[in-house]
Amino acid sequence: MAFMISINLINVNAIESNNDLTAYNQLLDELNDKYHAKLYILDEEEFINSPIYDDYEKDYANYIHSILSIDISSFKSLCLETINIEKVYNVQIIHNSRSTKGTKTMLFNNGNNTMTLIYKYRNTYDTSYTPTATVTKINSINYFVMSSYSGKFKNSNKTYSVTAKGKIYTTQGVASNQSFTVNFNL
Spans of all domains in the chain: 12-83, 88-185
Which one has a higher pLDDT value, 30 or 19? 30
The predicted structure's pLDDT at residue 25: 86
State what percent of residues in the chain have pLDDT above 70. 88
* Mean pLDDT of the chain, nearest integer: 86
Q: Is 31 exposed, middle or buried (0-12, 13-18, 19+ CB in 10 A)?
A: buried
Instruction: For residue 107, count other CB atoms closer than 10 A to its CB.
Output: 13
Element (H, E) at 116: strand 113-120
Q: Span 101-130, mean pLDDT? A: 93
Helices (H) and strands (E) in the chain, counts: 5, 8
Complete DSSP assignment for 30-69: HHHHHH---EE---HHHHHTSTTTGGGTT-HHHHHHHHHT
Q: What is the pTM of this model?
A: 0.78
Q: Which of 19-28, 44-53, 62-71, 115-124 has the lowest mean pLDDT?
A: 19-28
DSSP classification of residue 139: S
Instruction: For residue 52, count other CB atoms closer than 10 A to its CB.
Output: 19
N residues, the chain:
186
Amino acid identity at 81: E
Handedness of CA 47, 133, 138, 107 (dihedral sign): negative
The predicted structure's pLDDT at residue 97: 66
d(CA 28, CA 4): 7
Question: What is the band of 32 on the pLDDT scale with cuts at 50, 70, 90?
Answer: confident
Element (H, E) at 159: strand 159-170
Q: Please state, in angstroms and as integers, the Cα–Cα distance from residue 129 to each residue in 101, 118, 126, following that order.
A: 10, 10, 6
Instruction: For residue 110, count other CB atoms closer than 10 A to its CB.
Output: 14
Q: Span 137-149, mean pLDDT? A: 91
